[in-house]
Structure 1
Amino acid sequence: MIHPTALIDPAAELADDVRVGPYSVIGPNVEIGAGTVVASHVVINGPTTIGRNNHIFQFASVGEDCQDKKYKGEPTRLEIGDDNVIRESVTIHRGTIQDNSLTKIGDRNLLMAYVHVAHDCIIGDDCIFANNASVAGHAHVGNGVILGGMTGVHQFCKIGSYAMTSGCSLVLKDIPAYVMVSGNPAGARSMNFEGMRRRGWSKDVVSSLRKAYKLVYRQGLTLEQALLELESMEPSDALQIFIDSLKSSERGITR
């Protein structure tokens, strides 16, 4: 399971069936769960915890010191969940003490080649980051988010669940849940209604979210006025995700 040219620190903890390819380097304070595959020429530093059944492709750098100039070598962490695919040359950095000392990635995410996840980012489940997408420090990304290739996300931005960016988008403000954006700087275009249909969401839910989008983006209302209208609508779990993403915005939402 472990190629003879791989270098694994004695203080690393790997499940019995973890596979490690040629010339990979795994440092101390690294834990890797069962079923995970680490390809050749991968570098994993700690403290880092990686869950079960992940596949990390060649030349990835996982759990390295961050690029924040304030970082002075403090012990910070990276946590990665289960069933993630981390493709070639992806870089994922640990957190900083200026935040919660933690970078965290959930389950079932696909990070395509050359994706960068910076320090203190929190990434949910079932996301797809296309080639060269980069997420700057302290950004929070919800569940089911799709970042188009070469998308750039500014530090401290929040991207709500099921949002989507087109290729080469520059995200400077928060993106509410479900909203599709594009451009430089990114502007809101619609909601990801096709993604809702593919997930089998009911017509009533899609119709409700369409109305919610129009209240925020098409009626000329302030955000405060739109929130009052949204909270008077028939409640649903899907609508509440949208409302919560609006309320949690600190940088202002993408318009």
Structure 2
Amino acid sequence: MIQPLAYIHPQAKIAENVVIEPFVTIYKDVVIGEGTWIGSNVTIMDGARIGKNCRIFPGAVISAQPQDLKYKGEASTVTIGDNTIIRECVTLNRGTALDKNTTTIGSNCLLMAYVHVAHDCVIGNNVIIANSVQLAGHIEVQDFAFIGGASAVHQFVSIGAHSIISGGSLVRKDVPPYTKAGREPLSYVGINSVGLRRRGFTSEQIYEIQDIYRTIFLKKFNISRALDIIETEREPTEIRDEILDFIRNSNRGVMKGFGSGV
């Protein structure tokens, strides 16, 4: 159902069963999957690739040009996976040729009102980003992460899977998977045990994660020494290796352990 007061470029590719409310503007180079709902006053610009059964609420602007002075008008995209909810006044900027050429939002995500996702970000699946979170360019947010409201994330930061960040945080360093991050400056405050239990992690897996991060953040080792101890003394597991790989591949360095001085 397409309301007559909406403007849709005749070459935009709109699937069946898409609902488009009044005063929506959809540009030429746009693809929208079946079953998606577009609320009133949404603007969807060139380069948008929107999946199935998404819900985009009034005032959102999808695939606007990057707010990057290096951008020279090259073709690029914003890709949104299936079943993702984009709430009121969210802004998603498309990618740049100097990086990924696309901004990616996964499936089954919730981006609450007034979230901004800048160019070349990669958001995984099942991610929740609360109201007024601001993501600078080139950020990675892995699956099942949660970012609390009114947080600001520095460019090139990586946020690990199943992590949770307190509302109002200034995120200048990488946040490893499975952790809780809070305080100022942003610090390790534990693991996301509640979220892990909800997602079916066993007690043994949760204990393993706690013990690994106890070595990293609470035992007064520097990071490289802590990682060497974990690799030497613990049997390889998928969880162990994921944590080690994330921290070793961190470009900005990881957040510190609260009170640990690292």
Matched to 1:234, the amino acid is E
Aligned-partner residue type, residue 113 of structure 1: A
Task: Determine whether 1:97 maps to 2:97.
Answer: yes
Determine what percentage of the aligned residue pairs are the same residue.
Answer: 40
Q: Which residue of 2 aligns with 1:252?
A: 253
**Per-residue deviation, residues 96-136 of structure 1 (Å, max 9, x unmatched):** 11211110111100000001110000000001001001111
Which amino acid letter does the alignment assign opposite residue 196 of structure 1? Answer: L
Which AA in structure 2 matches 1:249? Answer: S
Alignment of structure 1 residues 149-160 onto 2, 5 Å: 149-160=149-160
| Aligned-partner residue type, residue 165 of structure 1 | I
Q: What pairs with 1:21-60 in structure 2 (closer than 5 Å)?
A: 21-60=21-60
Q: How many residues align?
A: 255
- Residue 221 of structure 1, CA deviation: 1.4
Which is further off, 204-213 or 185-194?
A: 185-194
Deviates more, 1:190-199 or 1:160-169: 190-199
Letter in 2 for 1:114: Y
Amino acid at match of 1:101: N
Q: CA RMSD in A?
A: 1.0
**Could you say what secondary structure the match of 1:17 adopts?**
coil
SS at match of 1:63: strand
Deviation at 1:239, TM superposition (A): 2.7
CA distance in 2, matches of 1:253, 1:23: 44
- TM-score, normalised to structure 1, is 0.97
Tell me which residue corresponds to 1:133: 133
Aligned to 1:207: 207
- 1:196 aligns with 196
1 CA distance for matches of 2:12 and 2:230?
A: 50
Aligned counterparts, 1:1-255, within 5 A: 1-232=1-232, 233-255=234-256
Identify unmatched segments of 5+ residues in structure 2. Answer: 257-262
The alpha carbon displacement at 1:183 in A equals 2.9
Q: Deviations over 1:72-109 (max 9, x none)?
A: 21111111111100000000000111211110111100
The CA deviation at 1:234 is 2.5
Residue type matched to 1:200 in 2? G
- Work out the CA distance in 1 between the residues paired with 2:41 and 2:12: 17
1:38, 1:196 → 2: CA distance? 33
Distance in 2, Cα, partners of 1:203 & 1:59: 43
Say if 1:168 and 1:184, in contact at 8 Å, map to a contact too. Answer: no
Structure 1 counterpart of 2:259 = none
Deviations 1:213-245 (A, max 9, x none): 101101111222121222231232233222221
The answer to whether the 8 Å contact 1:65/1:93 transfers is yes
For residues 161-206 of structure 1, what are the alpha-carbon distances to aligned partners after superposition, in whole Å with 9 as ceiling and x for unaligned? 1111111000001111111111333122111111111222111100
